[in-house]
Chains A and B, each alone.
Chain A
Amino acid sequence: MTTNGATAAKAKKASPVGSAANWVDERVGLATLAKKQVRKVFPDHWSFMLGEIALWSFVVLLLTGTFLTLWFKPSMAEVVYNGSYDQLRGMHMSESYASTLDISFDVRGGLLMRQMHHWAALIFIASMLVHLLRVYFTGAFRKPRELNWVIGCLLLLLGTLEGFTGYSLPDDLLSGTGLRAADGFVKSIPVVGTYVSFFLFDGEFPGDAIISRLYTAHVLLLPGVLLALVGAHMLLLVFHKHTQWPGPGRTEQNVVGYPLLPVYAAKAGGFFFIVFGITALMGALMTINPIWRIGPYDPSQVTAGSQPDWYMGWPDGALRIFPGWETSLFGFTIPWNVFLPIIVLPGVMFTILLMLPFIETWITGDKRDHHLLERPRDAPNRTATMVALMTFYGLLWAAGGNDVLALVFNMSLNNIIYFMRVMVFLGPVLAFIIARRWCISLQRADENRILHGYETGVIMRSPEGAYAEKHLPVSADEAFTLTARDRDPIMAAPTEADENGVAARKVHLNRLRYKLNQWWYSHNVQKPTAGELEEARHHAEHELAVHQGEIGHSADGHQFDGRSDTQNESPRQH
């Protein structure tokens, strides 16, 4: 900049924003922190929005939840209801139920906030689950992001616990029934079950402590841990930079997209308001958990069709279809029918979920960093594994509504249970096989597309009378995108024993690993080499030229496929 003016250069007067930033920078070094992040690049794809829904619904939960705490009284002390709701006035109930009624009927906007809070909770867990599926199916959990997968799994677990503690708080008949079942669950734990129950409820169920204890967990402990883990999840996301789909200009070494300021900030910030707004509309238009309908908790009452919130449905389904097994040994009882499906199974399933990235790495031996996403078809066993898990989950979830299924479809409840007992084992295996083969077929279709081009829909007849569909090469962009994936790494066959002939156990393990590795990749279609592609193109051109000679130029296949200029061509006149 040249300043050869007549007057002396004067320091520009700092704007209020500038001086504020200056004040902060001199104290915390803000600029160094900000220089890399302000224009940080985020790649764009609709599926990257799923995690955002989870994040924003969590914020909605914090806001609406804080509003609710201003009136909710987490106490089981008995009071006589004196509020606006006629049908329950004069009844004895716990303070927590009475205050929930007050929030619903005597605080303006209270019912709205309660319903928004409940809807946001359902959206929170649903979006975490779908986000998890997206991350898994696209291989976004691979190195270096395994720890973020683990954090995400913990968030799902804590979110579920938040949900359970939350819907137990109003102390209406439904929530009390849920707590009573939970009491039965913990009592089934061998040796310490009754102690856990008595320590949880401060004595015999229902006691007068459980609501206030759950409340502390629900509004302090769990959200605190959730908030910390959400922070860690986001920090790791920023540190690793977001994964991206392969495409022109996108590589393992770069990230292509829009800058945080302004585009991503506006989109993500705007999306917060959209999630918040939709939750508000749901709270206005869709009644959820109308706690006033069935009255306060009474341990001798229950309603038909009692069910937990949907995300608790799958362990409840396992509980429903489990055979009535119980063992008495030396005067002690082990209720397997409760302990296995509701205490052990969720723990096992969660561990499997947590371990998925590590199991896959162990089998594939792939230690490379991965920043380009993989399509589900390009990892058939990975895809099939999750499809099998989803099938298991889905069947148990359906079993959790077996009474509703029996009623709606007029089927025998017993037959549904027999069916489910078999299908929870058979279904995942079938689903695995089908998903795996499906993926491999899609890989083959992709290979065909690269090597032989796309189907034009133009049928050509040779002079001999044979029919063939004309293929044309796909665009350079598409061809690149289809081949922008890694070749499967090849694992060296394990040696029989190490140099000293010891560590035989490791040898067995390595052999198992090698077999798994062979099976993992055995049917995969690798992308063509440059030579193969060249040969296929040559062949296709030759074929086209031959046909071109046979049928003349009018059917070159370009007219109606929308892929090429038709200005100089006119449709054939009949």
Chain B
Amino acid sequence: MSDHTTDVATREPADEPIPNPGLHEHQPRPTDVDEAAEKRAERQIAAFFGLSALFAILFVVAYFSFEIGGEPDLIMGYGASNLTLGLSLGLALLLIGIGAIQWARKLMSDVEIVEMRHPAASPPEDRAIAISSFEAGVEESGIARRPLIRNSMLAALGALGLPLIVGLRDLGPAPGSALAETVWRRGMRLVNDVSGAPIRPGEVEIGQLINGEPAVFFRNDEEGEPLYEGVELNQAKAKAAIIMVRMRPEEITPAEGRENWGIDGILCFSKICTHVGCPISLWEQQTHHLLCPCHQSTFDLADNGKVLFGPAARALPQLPLMVDDEGYLVAQSDFNEPVGPSYWERG
């Protein structure tokens, strides 16, 4: 819209209702005219700087006087070291700032000065020179006249993108089917996640929720080393963590094919939320609802872990249970669907 293009310099509407009264005359401050006020301000500012130096020294004193770690709440619930270091450092810094600003406000000249602006755009003659220089350069390179060179160079530069991308390939392995499997196998015991003790159906009371894990996390190999530790343990745990609840059998409405997945009203579900993967454990035993603390998806464990409310789209995967020869709760198999958040290949 060229009709609105008005240069800054020429924009001064003719019928401006009120003329610019112009800059006011400088009003002197008390410190400009009263020598006593000036001296007072000078002493004030010097006092700020002096106090600052004092606090800097106090910082050093505090650094060497107070132990850390041992007494985390020595002074008013604060750690003595953190509190004294922070206060002395903070005040040392603050007083420099206050002194400098006071100096600027009281003693430095407060006469406003005027500077003219210049348009951001270059003058037309500069533009013309720049354009003709650029054109001369392009012409001399011959890039327009030699499309073969230009195109092959562009192709070469484009091809450089390949090493750039391929070079990042080893950032991680391909997902494969890893997300669809957990360490759960037929016959693997469910154990308490803290003690590692296996669980008999009789030990679980109605309304109770137990945080559980597969027994394999607590087992050692022949050399006495844990089978799972470090990264492997965390990766396996991130998928295999479960919760067990016991409800009255008559309250449970198992889906078709899940009738024999529970033992006397004990059901086992994945602990990993199907929304974005937080571990879930807020259990309302009266309503059989399980609430995720991260984004408040609510699942009904009496109704196959279905989503009642909230942003999750999928029911919590259920782990089919049975009892082994010694009477402990074990899995019938792995989960029959991937646990955790949904993803493209999940199906």
Contacts and interface: CB of A to CB of B under 8 A. Distances in A.
A324 B96 contact: no
Contact of B87 (A144, A281, A332): A281
A204 B178 contact: yes
B20 A332 contact: no
A180 B238 contact: yes
7 contacts: A199-B171, A204-B238, A254-B117, A255-B115, A267-B101, A270-B97, A333-B345
Contacts of A316: 295
Interface in B245-292: 271, 275-282
A417 B308 CA distance: 13
Interface in B293-347: 293-297, 307, 309-314, 340-347
A280 B100 contact: no
Given A266-B101, A368-B6, A368-B8, A306 B23 contact: no
Nearest 5 Cβ contacts at the A-B interface? A284-B86, A184-B276, A270-B100, A84-B69, A249-B23
B97 A277 contact: yes
A259 B111 CA distance: 9
A240 B120 contact: yes
A51 B94 CA distance: 19
Contacts of B68: 84, 105-108, 110-111
A491 interface: yes
B294 A366 contact: no
A197 B342 contact: no
Contacts of A560: none
Interface stretch (A128-136, A522-530, A545-553, A566-574): A522-530
Contacts of A275: 97
B276 A319 contact: yes
Given A105-B69, A285-B86, A487-B13, A302 B345 contact: no
A244 to B, nearest CB: 10
B108 A262 contact: yes
Contacts of B172: 198-203, 207, 209
Interface stretch (B30-38, B76-84, B202-210): B76-84
Contact of B231 (A76, A190, A319): A76
A477 interface: yes
Interface stretch (A20-28, A293-301, A425-433): A293-301
Contact of A333 (B8, B84, B178, B343): B343
B156 interface: no
Interface stretch (A334-342, A352-360, A377-385, A388-396): A334-342
Contacts of B93: 273-274, 276-277, 280
A223 interface: no
A557 interface: no
Interface in A240-283: 240-241, 248-249, 251-259, 262-263, 266-267, 269-281, 283
Interface in A292-339: 297-306, 316, 319-326, 328, 331-335, 337-338
B51 to A, nearest CB: 12
A271 to B, nearest CB: 6
Interface of A: 39-41, 76-78, 83-85, 105-112, 115-116, 144, 177, 180-181, 183-185, 187-195, 197-209, 239-241, 248-249, 251-259, 262-263, 266-267, 269-281, 283-285, 297-306, 316, 319-326, 328, 331-335, 337-338, 341, 365-369, 371, 402-403, 413-414, 417, 450, 476-477, 479-480, 483-484, 486-487, 489, 491-492, 527-533
B5 A367 contact: yes
A304 to B, nearest CB: 5
B131 interface: no
Given A111-B79, A280-B90, A324-B307, A483 B18 contact: yes
Interface string B122-164: 0000000000000000000000000000000000000000000
Interface in B205-244: 211, 213, 229-231, 234-235, 237-239, 241
Contacts of B238: 180, 204-206, 299-300
A284 B8 CA distance: 51
Contacts of B95: 277
A457 B237 CA distance: 75
Contacts of B90: 277-281, 283-284
A202 B97 CA distance: 47
B167 interface: no
Nearest to A262: B108
Contacts of A529: 15, 17
Given A112-B85, A144-B121, A333-B342, 5 more contacts: A180-B276, A207-B172, A281-B94, A333-B346, A530-B15
Given A300-B193, A320-B295, A270 B20 contact: no
Interface string B89-110: 1111111111111011100111
A248 B3 contact: no
Given A177-B294, A281-B90, A332-B345, A205 B235 contact: yes
Interface in B1-34: 1, 3-6, 8-9, 11, 13, 15-24
Contacts of B229: 78
A284 B58 CA distance: 15
Nearest to B179: A194
Nearest to B96: A273
Contacts of A337: 275, 311-313
Nearest to A325: B313
Interface centre among B92, B97, B117, B344 (most CB of A within 10 A): B344
Nearest to A450: B17
A187 B341 contact: yes
B166 interface: no
Contacts of B234: 206, 297-299
Nearest to A484: B20
A302 B294 contact: yes
A184 B8 contact: no
Contact of B341 (A78, A177, A188, A489): A188
Given A271-B101, A274-B97, A338-B341, A305 B275 contact: no
Contact of A258 (B87, B110, B239, B297): B110
A278 B89 CA distance: 10
Nearest to B3: A492
A404 to B, nearest CB: 11
A479 B21 CA distance: 10
Contacts of A192: 344
B110 to A, nearest CB: 7
B175 A365 contact: no
Contacts of A40: 115
Given A270-B101, A487-B13, A258 B112 contact: yes
Given A266-B100, A280-B90, A491-B1, A476 B344 contact: no
B179 A306 contact: no
